[in-house]
Structure 1
Amino acid sequence: MTPARLSILLAALLALASLMWLSAALRLLPASDWPALPLNPQRMSLGQILLGFGLMPRGVIALLAGAALGLSGALLQAVLRNPVADPTTLGISSGAQLALVIATILTPSLLDTLGRWPVAMGGAVLAAALVMAIGAARAFAPVTMVIAGMLIAMTASAIATAITLAQGEYLLSLVIWNGGSLVQQDWSGVRGLTAILLAGAGAAALLARPLRVLSLGVEGARGLGLNVTAIRLAAMALAVALAGSVSAELGLIGFVGLAAPALARTLGARNMVQVLWLAPPIGALILSLCDGLVLAIAGRLHEMFPTGALTGLIGGPLLIWLLPRLRGSTPPGTEAAEGPPPRLRRPARLLAALALLLMAGALMLVWIGRVPGGWTVLDRESVAAFLPLRLPRLVAAAGAGAALGLAGALLQRLTANPLASPEVLGVSGGATLGFALVLFMIPVPSVLAQIGGSMVGGALALALLAIYVSRRDMPAERVLLAGIAVSALSTAVLSAMMAVGDARAFAVLSWLSGSSSAIGGREAVAMALLAVLLLVAALLMRRWLAVLPLGTGVSTGLGLPLRRARLAIVGLAGLATGAATMLVGPLSFVGLMAPHLARRAGFARPQDQIAAAALIGAALMMTADFGARMAGFPYELPLGLFASLIGAPWLLWLMMRKTR
């Protein structure tokens, strides 16, 4: 599409957004009854108050927030030279969201004293600092930055979800707010965002010329006397302030900062100054149009959901579309960079030792307990009383951990990348969406239907990713980023489904956090048997898994049925992830940690690595289940949250290591 045609399209979309807002206003009140300026609530009817202090500031704040996010995304893309950088993909918005959720539930007095803005800024700054620290270790490579940012965002969102779930009285309001609600009660938010946007625009104008020099490259900019570090910090601080302000006022609104600069470049912006000028009005148009669609849907179906949930739907497809245009390739940690892993001569002995340690650990976790007086070793009577409760949970957790471990090993072998895992490649996101669809489409879904929906969703997500990547010559790290994009799209759809306030949203939230408290003996045996069957099936694919990492040419020359092998591996990994996700939720990072630990321990052959990853995954998940039960005694933490708190630091450490 030419820039002229795209300009016409944007003008038409602006007119459409205006018409949708006008239609919503007319449904609320006839034009003849609209209040006159200045607004005086004491002389206004209820309908006039709803229009003058609700709908009107809502329309204005959509424009202001969209412009602020568009400018924030343009600044981030300029300073990092990364076309897929924005407050969402770099974890800034999720950091602000997590800080506000923690403050709302744990320290509400802090919000009353400081207000939401400083708290949101603190969370956004911490998230941005963590992403920048990882980026500095990898020379700010675009792919590394986005992978780090989106994984930090996923972890922050998981923690925020678990905290929200633990406080039922805040549940509905926090779910709606986290989705990015534009509902207004007065003009205070408009005044605040107006001041911030004007200040940000002035600061961006001062940074425009240095950023244009920085676009020549770091060395070239330094050669011209530019203080690169100072300009980066100033632009990042401004972008974080803009995005954090929007999060503080409206909640999590995703991907507007990604779309606005991309459309500005498509319109013909040829340098960074032009992008900085065009991105804010385009961002305002995008958010206003999305809010108009929400108002139109609410008018027809009488169902309101946060606007941020709708903006998130554009993020996944847009990110996937931008992937082939992403420059720079620095895999965030590869086996070659870490040096050759050790290779065991007799792996069977260590595998047997791991199995014995797993059984001994299970027995120990059954006997150890925590009472009001502290830790204790249970006597026989107490063990007999607690065994019917504890043993099914331990067995189910071990089965789920084993399934995730072997799924991660399969994906790492398939992509030849040690950072591949069910969470990173979008399999967990697809499984989550499949579960939610079954829950919302079937009035009384059975456990079998829920498990089936989760498995099918995980397999379909990975199949779509495989189809997309197979048509393009992408390096391995782009596959990871494409998987994260699939996961972001799944999360956006899920947010839109939950934010309508349906009672089933609570069930989805419970499952997202992961819990083994409702597991009985039958479910535990089924999970364990399924893990064993999946392990046997994976071991039967050992020849394929040994040949695939050698490349397409070698695999074809050796007579490997590439299409059939890839589909089989993809399907098995999807089934394993879907089954495990039913118990532990979509984010645990066990599928990343277990195969990596197995490889570093010396299990080099496919069958050895898969078996070891299954055993290590089982041990990690059993430990997480025990920790979730005991860390917050007498209250229980969500299993998926506790596992992610173990896995997230591991992942960040893995990404921050410098190559040799």
Structure 2
Amino acid sequence: MKHIAARPWLATGLLWCIAAAIAAFNLGPLIGGAGVRAVFSLPSAGDSQAVLLHYSVLPRLAMSCVGGFALGLSGMLFQHVLRNPLASPSTLGVEAGAQLALGIAMLWFPALLGWSRDTATAFGGFAAMAVVFAVAWRFKFQPIAVILTGLVMGLYCTAIVTLLTLMNDHYLSGLFVWGGGSLNQNDWRSVAGLLPKVVGFTVLALLLVRQLSVLTLGEAAKGLGIKLQFVRAAALFVAVALTTFTVSAVGVIGFLGLAAPAIARAIGARRINTRLIVAPLIGAALLIIVDQIMQIYTAKTGSYVPTGAATALIGVPVLLFVMLKRGGSLQTAIHSGSSPAASSRPLILIATLAGLVLAVAMVAIFVGRGVDGSWISSTGATLKSLLPWRLPRLVAATSAGIMLALAGSLLQRLTGNAMASPEVLGVSAGTAFGLLCILFVVSEPTITHRLIGGFLGAGTVLAILFAMSRAAHSGNQFLMFGVSLGAFLTALISVVLASGDPRALSLISWMAGSTYGVSSAMSLIISALAIVGIITVMLLVRPLQQFALGDLSAHSHGVDVKKLQILILAVAALLTAMATLIVGPLSFVGLMAPHLAQRLGLTRGLPHLMGSALCGALLMATADFIGRTAYFPWQLPTGLVATLLGGPVFALLLIRGRRLSKLH
């Protein structure tokens, strides 16, 4: 028993030895050149090595320790209070909310930053947490509801930050560097400001250790005189405060708050008083290791990699490991409300949707902004001169919306999970990564090369997801695997983009989802592919309906389930790849369009698929028109506008309690 109790401490000590060894390897030559005295005393202005060591290198090392400790403790508190091994500052949207609040303060309330930057980030973190809890409350804080809402909240806040940055690049140019998690220090002021706060909130957490230890008893804890609501509120307050203060100092350090508590449990830290110390120590050691390795990499290659993105590369595999080991806690589906009744007149609804798409298309073609910014209707020669600019991007946007909607419908029917979509499952991120690989492999990639790369990336992600989901035997884990894999690929892309390689930088404008540069030839190709996609999906309607009744029923009707799954995956991957090449990896159309069609009463077979396609076209056509006119004469990326339109729709769907059941 003593050996088991000592195991977490021994493992933590070993991890710290590794951190110390890497730090000594990296900093040893500098300390040797500047002298040990430079570590403890103020250096002379003429000694450049001593100045660098004392005012930059050592404060960065200290910030790694303090920041990692705070995030480790914060993640441990989130997971313990919510009784959810996937809860963390990253997965609950707290860090993204803090980043959004900082961006808003930089634009409209700069005086607040001069007074207290911590106040702005704390407000954003608490606001994001409040939104997540408001939605999750309806589902009694079921793990899948809390995590999915938090992840989407994070993506939505990130989309708003991206949009604000595009509109105000002179003011927010440094926000993405900060958002990537930068531990660079110029003096000891940031460390001196953060350390007392971390110490103070750590003391508060330790004072709650008795109450936290009986919190796992649930309602039975009330018999012991414990006020559950007060304890949960106090612990969550400490966790959010630790996160926001750390984010204010160093930016977003992704997934560290998830990885540290998971590792603490894996090495045997079972009791709450042990985890309260071990998890923060592991977080500090992990951040030191990652940051020192990144410094060595930068020194060898000259390429800068944000520490936050690098920690995501470690944190996401830990997330996948936790889900595989703790699958039982994630198998609760969201059940609330009732499925909408099927419409008795689906053809009328489909015709109405088609009419709306046509109406929006007419508005997008004829209506615009004049030189002075006023709204005008273009006709005659003016329209003829504008048509080559407006029509191709409109056709491309609507075609992409159709393809994403069809891909989302196929994935939802295949998985039996109404929250599955190309964006949420990481298929769009896989497309982006495949395209990035093509940019590095092919010197002058054509549209065919890009399409092949995107298809291979999307198909690989789907293949990995199905392999992992079969191993885990959990439908909801399929969803979480996709989100995690998408975050992992996004972190990889961020690392490559941070390298400054011109080939990677050409990907940035595309990732925002702009249709500004679509040519007439490209729009014709995309529209033809969308038509082919519609015909292909129509041919799959009958086997899809039989597949929804179960494997045995499908086999009895002569359906080869395995071949059908592979075919559906291939079609969904190809549709996603083609659409993502036009509107970027973030739009949420693949998630929302099938739900909107269902809400209208188009719930079965071909009417649902056609309704989903028309809803997708309507969303993207609207987003393209808004992106072209809302901030005239500048263009807003269609993909980002679609995300901003889709976030509230997604929240509404969750609040109204969509049932995670198979579509028929």
1: CA distance, partners of 2:275 / 2:547: 43
Q: Deviations over 1:417-463 (max 9, x none)?
A: 22221111111111122222223444443333223222221221122
Letter in 2 for 1:375: W
Offset, 1:411: 1.1
Percent of aligned pairs with the same amino acid: 39
Letter in 2 for 1:201: T
Query: SS of 1:624's equivalent?
Result: helix
**1:255/1:571 Cα in 2 relative to 1: closer, same or farther (>3 Å)?**
same
1: CA distance, partners of 2:98 / 2:288: 22
1:385 is aligned to 385
Letter in 2 for 1:568: L
Letter in 2 for 1:396: A
1:469 is aligned to 469
8 Å contact kept, 1:141–1:329: no
2: CA distance, partners of 1:158 / 1:255: 19
8 Å contact kept, 1:180–1:250: yes
2: CA distance, partners of 1:171 / 1:202: 36
Query: SS of 1:501's equivalent?
Result: coil
Relative to structure 2, which stretch is displaced further, 441-450 or 252-261? 441-450
1:590 is aligned to 589
Letter in 2 for 1:306: P
**Aligned pairs for 1:83-122 within 5 A:** 83-104=85-106, 106-107=107-108, 109-110=110-111, 112-122=113-123
2: CA distance, partners of 1:28 / 1:439: 38
Q: Deviations over 1:498-529 (max 9, x none)?
A: 22233445433212211010011011111111
Offset, 1:366: 1.1
8 Å contact kept, 1:21–1:295: no
2: CA distance, partners of 1:625 / 1:238: 42
Letter in 1 for 2:161: A
Relative to structure 2, which stretch is displaced further, 17-26 or 632-641? 17-26
Relative to structure 2, which stretch is displaced further, 570-579 or 503-512? 503-512
8 Å contact kept, 1:411–1:420: yes
Offset, 1:170: 6.2
Relative to structure 2, which stretch is displaced further, 6-15 or 546-555? 6-15
Using the size of structure 2 for normalisation, the TM-score is: 0.93
1:420 is aligned to 420
Relative to structure 2, which stretch is displaced further, 363-372 or 60-69? 363-372
Letter in 1 for 2:190: G
**Aligned pairs for 1:515-530 within 5 A:** 515-530=514-529
In the alignment, is residue 454 of structure 1 matched against residue 420 of structure 2? Answer: no
**Aligned pairs for 1:212-361 within 5 A:** 212-217=213-218, 219-324=219-324, 325-326=326-327, 327=329, 329-332=331-334, 337-361=336-360
1: CA distance, partners of 2:92 / 2:647: 16
**Aligned pairs for 1:365-384 within 5 A:** 365-371=364-370, 372=372, 374-384=374-384
8 Å contact kept, 2:182–2:251: yes
**1:263/1:110 Cα in 2 relative to 1: closer, same or farther (>3 Å)?**
same
1:429 is aligned to 429
Relative to structure 2, which stretch is displaced further, 158-167 or 52-61? 158-167
Relative to structure 2, which stretch is displaced further, 141-150 or 37-46? 37-46
Relative to structure 2, which stretch is displaced further, 383-392 or 368-377? 368-377
8 Å contact kept, 2:297–2:303: yes
1:136 is aligned to 137
1: CA distance, partners of 2:4 / 2:223: 37
Relative to structure 2, which stretch is displaced further, 152-161 or 139-148? 152-161
User: How many residue pairs align between the two structures?
Assistant: 654
Letter in 2 for 1:351: I
Query: SS of 2:368's equivalent?
Result: strand
2: CA distance, partners of 1:27 / 1:570: 53
1:643 is aligned to 642
**1:657/1:351 Cα in 2 relative to 1: closer, same or farther (>3 Å)?**
closer
1:201 is aligned to 202
Letter in 1 for 2:224: L
Relative to structure 2, which stretch is displaced further, 267-276 or 422-431? 267-276
Offset, 1:114: 2.5
Query: SS of 1:160's equivalent?
Result: helix
2:35 is aligned to 33
**1:269/1:23 Cα in 2 relative to 1: closer, same or farther (>3 Å)?**
closer
Give the gaps of 5 or more residues in structure 1: none
**1:161/1:34 Cα in 2 relative to 1: closer, same or farther (>3 Å)?**
farther
2: CA distance, partners of 1:37 / 1:411: 57
Letter in 2 for 1:630: T
**1:579/1:265 Cα in 2 relative to 1: closer, same or farther (>3 Å)?**
same
**1:461/1:192 Cα in 2 relative to 1: closer, same or farther (>3 Å)?**
same
Give the gaps of 5 or more residues in structure 2: 660-664
Letter in 1 for 2:202: A
Offset, 1:187: 0.8
**1:458/1:395 Cα in 2 relative to 1: closer, same or farther (>3 Å)?**
same
Q: How much is the aligned-residue C-alpha RMSD, in angstroms? A: 2.3
2:662 is aligned to none
Query: SS of 1:471's equivalent?
Result: helix
2: CA distance, partners of 1:172 / 1:463: 37
8 Å contact kept, 2:66–2:284: yes
8 Å contact kept, 1:41–1:49: yes
Offset, 1:302: 2.7
Q: Deviations over 1:187-220 (max 9, x none)?
A: 1121122111111110101111111121111x21
Relative to structure 2, which stretch is displaced further, 1-10 or 131-140? 1-10
Letter in 1 for 2:163: A
1:615 is aligned to 614
2:405 is aligned to 405
Query: SS of 1:215's equivalent?
Result: helix
Query: SS of 2:260's equivalent?
Result: helix
8 Å contact kept, 2:105–2:113: no
Q: Deviations over 1:475-500 (max 9, x none)?
A: x3322222111111111111211222
2: CA distance, partners of 1:3 / 1:213: 20
Query: SS of 1:234's equivalent?
Result: helix
**1:405/1:86 Cα in 2 relative to 1: closer, same or farther (>3 Å)?**
same
8 Å contact kept, 1:406–1:591: yes
1:394 is aligned to 394
2:80 is aligned to 78
1:630 is aligned to 629
8 Å contact kept, 1:89–1:149: yes
2:160 is aligned to 159
Query: SS of 2:76's equivalent?
Result: helix
8 Å contact kept, 2:8–2:269: no
**1:242/1:263 Cα in 2 relative to 1: closer, same or farther (>3 Å)?**
same
Letter in 1 for 2:97: G
Query: SS of 1:36's equivalent?
Result: helix
Relative to structure 2, which stretch is displaced further, 88-97 or 560-569? 560-569
